[in-house]
Each structure stands twice: as C-alpha cells, then as structure tokens.
Structure 1
Amino acid sequence: MKPDLSPTAPRSGDPLLTVRGLRIAFGGVEAVRGVTFDVRPREVFGVVGESGAGKSLTARALLGMVPRGATTSGTVLLRGSADLAAERGRRISLVPQDALSALSPVHPVGDQLAAAVRSVRRVSRREAAARAVAALERVGIPDAARRARAYPHEYSGGMRQRAVIAMATVNEPDVVVADEPTTALDEERREQVLRVLAEQREAVGAALVLVTHDLDAVRRHAGRVLVMYAGRAAELGPADEVLTRPRAPYTAGLLASLPRPDGPPRRRLPALPGSPPAPGSPGAGCAFAPRCPLAADPCRTRDPEPQLLDGRLVACHRAADVPDPIREFV
C-alpha cells in the first residue's frame, strides 16, 4: 500500500487541489509519471527540478491546459470538480513564463483585464474597467488608470510581469499557478515579482503553486515543495526541511550545486554529472541512478516506490544514506 500524503500537508482545511496518479504521455512516451500531491487553502506550494522534469506540464494539467496530442490519466480535482477548463480564470488562474506572449499586442492592457473580468462575472463594462484598474493598482503599476489605456509594448518587462499577475488575480481565484514567473528577469526585478506574487496571494486569499528553478525562492516563500525528476516525484515535504536536510539524492545534488555564503571564495561550483534522461527512456531502475553517487544494484533494476521518511515522501532506495551536511555530495 502506498503511503498517504497527509503527514506532509498543512492540517487546516480540505485540499483545494487534489492530484492523484497524474500521467501525461505523447505518442506513448510518458513525460509525467504518476505524480500525486495536494494543495491546501492559502498555502504556497513549490515545484522544482531541472528542465525536462515535467514540472511545467504538471502545472498546466492543473488548469486543464495539457497540449493537444497528449493523453492523460489519473485524477486532478479542484474543490472536487474535474472540469478544470470551466474553472480556469474563475477559481484557478495562470501566471505564465513569458508575459509578452501572454498579452495581446493589439489591445490595451486594461481592456484585456476587463475582458477577463467579464468572461466570468456578469458586470457592466464600467465595473469591469474599474476592477481592471484596481488590479493594476494592487500590483504596483503607477498611475494605473492611465497605464490601463497603454499597450503591452509600452510597458517595461517588469511591468508586463506585474500586469499578468494582475490578470491572474483580478477575479480573486482560489489557486494561482505561477509557471517560472521570474525567468529572464534580473535579480532586482525577480525579487519584485516574487514580492508582488506574495502580496497578491495574501490580498485575494489564494493558494500559490510556484513552479521554478529558483530553489532559494522556494525556500523563502513555500510551505511545502515537490522535487521532480524524469516526470516523477523524487521528494515531497516541508520546504524548510527538504531544502536543508534532503533525503533524496537528487535533491541533495541540486542543493550541493548552489553557491554557499560560507563556501571558499572563487571555488568552482560542483554540478550534477550527466544529464536527465529523455522522456520515456528512464529504464527499468531509478531514473537518477546513472547520475547518483549512491546508486547500488537495486537502484539499477527496480524503480523505487515512494516511502515516508523523516516527515516527507521520498522515492529512493538509498534515502537513509544521504549525507548530512550535503555540501560535498556532488
């Protein structure tokens, strides 16, 4: 019997999102392989992993936005409803990676936000426009009434990202999914966007699913974190524990590759050897075994089942052997 996820989840409130055994395949090649987790009211839930881990596909599945040609199985429920497309924009929304492509170049930003309001609410055009301006004000757009009449190309990169956050929160959804929202932004703008996301989550009372490569952002903002590798969950648990005392070798390797304030100056950072497997080709054993310094015979022949260890879920045969501290793991 596979373990329940409830020991790692906040105790208050029923799950907003319930994901069980999610699988996504293209032409028989599985890109997401049996992912299971819950997202609870008002929590920040981080999803991390290397490129190709399946985290963005998993995030899109939460909104019913799996690409055409994909086949899916498993269960994704939002407050018990499986009709995710009908809930999109109303109870769940997306902050995309590329703000410029998410906004229409031929309509003013305020009109686009007002259209998002009228798509789910029976309000007048005047009321929708007022809600749009208020949403822009909430995310810190200066002179919001005037900026609402401007086009996306007239916004800076940071302002465009704020605008898509405004669009994602204008209808006060239950869940906001942010898919790599700080990609291509400099450090200052990255911090601004993360702060705005945190403020808007609090303002509208939403849960936030933060999909990112930025482990430090997850450590600072998330209550729980899902670490993905090769389409599977490698580790799931409280962020402050998973990202300081990991039990999955993959998580340990990611963390050991980060710069440390107490590390020696000008030291070349270690890196995980090799590359993630191509989707559909992880082999019979653990997908991480070819890159793992702890790999043993069971790792190469049997895919590990998730197990509860130290208050988190870990899919690893050698979870108990991950060193602490991890700085010399790689």
Structure 2
Amino acid sequence: MTGRPVLLSVRDLCVEFPAVAAVRGVSFDVREGEVLALVGESGAGKSLTARTLLGMAPHTARVTGSVRLRDRELLGAPRSPYAGLRGRHIALVPQDALGVLSPAHTVGDQLAAAVRSVRGLDRRRARAAAVAALDRVGIPDADRRAKAYPHEYSGGMRQRAVIAMAMINEPELVVADEPTTALDPAVQEQVLGVLASLREATGAAMVLVTHDLSVVAAHADRVLVLYAGRPVESGPVERVLTRPRAPYTAGLLASLPPDEPVTDRRLPAIGGAPPSPAELAHLTGCAFAPRCPLAAGHERCRTREPEPVAVGEAGHLVSCHRWQDTPDVPTLARDLRRERGAA
C-alpha cells in the first residue's frame, strides 16, 4: 500500500462548537485502495471526523485544517466543493439505513435516481443499473425486490441496499460510518463481506468507522485510534493491534473478551470515563491521564499534551509521554481485572 498514490490527505482537522472542541488536530492519509479504520470509545470523534470529510459537519460547527482529495482542497472553498463529488468520487455508507432510504419511494427508484444524478442515464438504463447493483450486493430476486419499499426489507437487506447506493457510481473513496452496528454478528459479517468485495472490485479506498477491533483486524490495512477527539496511535493494523504503544490502545485490546476460558470471569475494562467535549476546552495535559495506569506521579502527563512520535518503522505513531513503559496486553488485562475486583 505504501507505494500507491495518496488519495485523501487530512491535516490538523479541528471541529469546534461554541465552548466545545470535538475534534482536535486529526491528521492522516488514505492511499488508493487502502482501508483506514477509525476506532475509539463513544464520543472519541470518529463519526464527526468521518462526516466532516464529506462536508456533513453540523452547520453550527467551525471546521479548520485541510482535507484534500487528490489535488483538490475541500475545506474553505467559497462555494461548496462537494458539488459533483458526492456519489461520483466520495460516498457514504451510514449506520442507519432507514435514515437514508426514503419510505415513500421504492428501493429501485432511489438507486436509479442516484445513478441518473451522476451518470445522466435515461430511466430504462438507470433502472437496469439499480437492479444490477442490488444483485451485486446479494439481494435475492433483485428485479422484484427493486420494486419493494424499504420497510419491506430486513435490516440486513436495507444495509446491503445502502451499500449498493453508495457503490453504484463506483466512487474512489467510501466512508463507512459503523455500517453494521444494528445488525447481529452473522449478518454483520455478511454485510462487511459484501462491502469488501465491492470495494476490491472497484478499487475504492475506504475510511471505516467502527468500535469493533475484530472488524479492524479482518478488514483494515491501517488504524487510527482516537481519544477525546485526538489521535493517540496510528499505523499498520498488524503492528498496532499486536504491539500497541499507547496505554489507551492497549487498554482497548485488553478489554476484549478472551478467546480461551479463564478462571477469573471478571471482564477487564478501562476504569473511569472519557472527558466530556466541554472539559476539553480547559485541558492542559493528556486527556487520558485521569484513566491511565502510567500517569500517576508523572507531572508531565497532567500538564502537557503529548505530540505524536514515530515508533520503529512503517508509519507507526504514538502520542504518549510514557509509551516505552506501556505493558503488554495480557499483563494489562490481568491488572484491569484486579482493579475491578478491588473496586
């Protein structure tokens, strides 16, 4: 992947609301055909970052930084730079299909409208493209199902339909915002498999927002871990998930249910809770310090926010003053269980 051209370049992206800093200095690149996963707890800024890439930040937000799609700057243009980009070059797969699909129109009509708006096909050809798109995502009897309304689809079928809508014009970049959150595990894997197959067939890159690290391991090339709106670790999936250097990343991995039966049935968990966005405006040190097992007695963790540093090679970055002391995941899992037992 490292030899491929950069498709999307994000630098120092900040999204602020009155008295609230929600995304703080996020930077990353996505190369052609690459899958970058954004992970972190609820409120980490994953979805807001992803939707800002599409020009979909709330109108009350103040957005600064740089978002470039190839050579085109998307932030700060006098007219919306997304006109002509959405659908053709950038597409969204949301977590709530019912929020995208209109209940008043058939699924086939909505897919046909999506392809006509970009390609300018006549009604007959657009209809044929819609049926073919439903067939590609595994909707059985696609010609008949194209005439059905969204409420006549199951949850998994609706999610396949919005994937078909996102991919029907073969965009260069797909932003998938927790696309399988509301589905059971078996259907989740089927839907993610459909999305992966279509992406590979078209060569599209993807920004995948998820809280599920098993999905990251199976479907992503690189991962960016966010905490309190700021990156704490990033790099190739195999490096970050097998040897995390940020205590927060290690804590997320340590909190996963074990693969093997254990005598201690207490599930490990990171203690405490993330700071609220309003608290971040007054932050002076590392946002994770109040929950971090390494921060106790270290004034620097509480007074200075860490900057990213390179760890080895392959673009592995970590933002932590004490990254060299981060325990391995099994040790941290044991310690977290002990803390839960003492609580």
> Normalised by the shorter chain, which TM-score bucket?
over 0.9
Q: CA deviation at 1:324?
A: 2.1
1:140 corresponding residue in structure 2: 138
C-alpha deviations, 1:178-200, integer Å up to 9, x for none? Answer: 00111121111111111111111
1:131 corresponding residue in structure 2: 129
2:77 corresponding residue in structure 1: none
Letter of the structure 2 residue corresponding to residue 198 of structure 1: A
* Preserved contact between residue 307 and residue 314 of structure 1 (Cα < 8 Å): yes
1:3 corresponding residue in structure 2: none
2:37 corresponding residue in structure 1: 46
Whole-Å Cα distance in 1 between the matches of residues 103 and 202 of structure 2? 27
Task: Out of 177-186 and 265-274, give the one that drifted further.
Answer: 265-274
Letter of the structure 1 residue corresponding to residue 212 of structure 2: D
Cα separation, partners in 2 of 1:319 and 1:329, compared to 1, 3 Å: farther
C-alpha deviations, 1:116-153, integer Å up to 9, x for none? Answer: 11111121111111111111011000010111110000
Paired residue secondary structure (2:242): coil
* Preserved contact between residue 32 and residue 231 of structure 1 (Cα < 8 Å): yes
Q: CA deviation at 1:82?
A: 2.5
Q: CA deviation at 1:328?
A: 2.9
C-alpha deviations, 1:26-67, integer Å up to 9, x for none? Answer: 114210000000011111111100000000000001111111
Q: Note the residue ranges of structure 1 that are not aligned, 5 or more in a row.
A: 1-9
1:216 corresponding residue in structure 2: 214
1:6 corresponding residue in structure 2: none
Paired residue secondary structure (2:176): strand
Report 1:313-328 matches (<5 A).
Answer: 313-326=317-330, 327-328=333-334
Do residues 289 (structure 1) and 280 (structure 2) align?
Answer: no
Q: Note the residue ranges of structure 2 that are not aligned, 5 or more in a row.
A: 75-80, 337-343
Report 1:158-307 matches (<5 A).
Answer: 158-264=156-262, 267-282=265-280, 283-295=283-295, 296-307=298-309
2:27 corresponding residue in structure 1: 36
Paired residue secondary structure (2:115): helix
Letter of the structure 2 residue corresponding to residue 323 of structure 1: P
Whole-Å Cα distance in 1 between the matches of residues 329 and 270 of structure 2? 17
Whole-Å Cα distance in 2 between the matches of residues 325 and 82 of structure 1? 40
Q: CA deviation at 1:13?
A: 2.0
Q: CA deviation at 1:174?
A: 0.3
Paired residue secondary structure (2:310): strand
Letter of the structure 2 residue corresponding to residue 70 of structure 1: A
Q: CA deviation at 1:261?
A: 1.0
Letter of the structure 2 residue corresponding to residue 313 of structure 1: L
Q: CA RMSD in A?
A: 1.2
Task: Out of 112-121 and 264-273, give the one that drifted further.
Answer: 264-273
Q: CA deviation at 1:12?
A: 2.0
Paired residue secondary structure (1:38): strand
* Preserved contact between residue 250 and residue 328 of structure 2 (Cα < 8 Å): no
User: How many pairs align?
Assistant: 321
Letter of the structure 2 residue corresponding to residue 207 of structure 1: A
* Preserved contact between residue 45 and residue 208 of structure 1 (Cα < 8 Å): yes
* Preserved contact between residue 250 and residue 329 of structure 2 (Cα < 8 Å): no
Whole-Å Cα distance in 2 between the matches of residues 319 and 167 of structure 1? 43
- TM-score of the superposition, structure 2-length normalised? 0.91
Cα separation, partners in 2 of 1:105 and 1:266, compared to 1, 3 Å: farther
Whole-Å Cα distance in 2 between the matches of residues 94 and 102 of structure 1? 10
2:51 corresponding residue in structure 1: 60
Match of 2:70 among 79, 86, 92: 79
Paired residue secondary structure (1:199): helix
Whole-Å Cα distance in 1 between the matches of residues 185 and 48 of structure 2? 26
* Preserved contact between residue 286 and residue 304 of structure 2 (Cα < 8 Å): yes
Whole-Å Cα distance in 2 between the matches of residues 303 and 266 of structure 1? 36
Whole-Å Cα distance in 1 between the matches of residues 237 and 312 of structure 2? 13
Whole-Å Cα distance in 2 between the matches of residues 188 and 271 of structure 1? 25
Q: CA deviation at 1:303?
A: 0.3
* Preserved contact between residue 254 and residue 329 of structure 2 (Cα < 8 Å): no
* Preserved contact between residue 16 and residue 22 of structure 2 (Cα < 8 Å): yes
Paired residue secondary structure (1:73): strand
- Fraction of identical pairs, as percent: 65
Paired residue secondary structure (1:120): helix
Letter of the structure 1 residue corresponding to residue 293 of structure 2: P
Letter of the structure 1 residue corresponding to residue 207 of structure 2: V
C-alpha deviations, 1:78-102, integer Å up to 9, x for none? Answer: 1222245221111010000101121
Whole-Å Cα distance in 1 between the matches of residues 312 and 270 of structure 2? 24
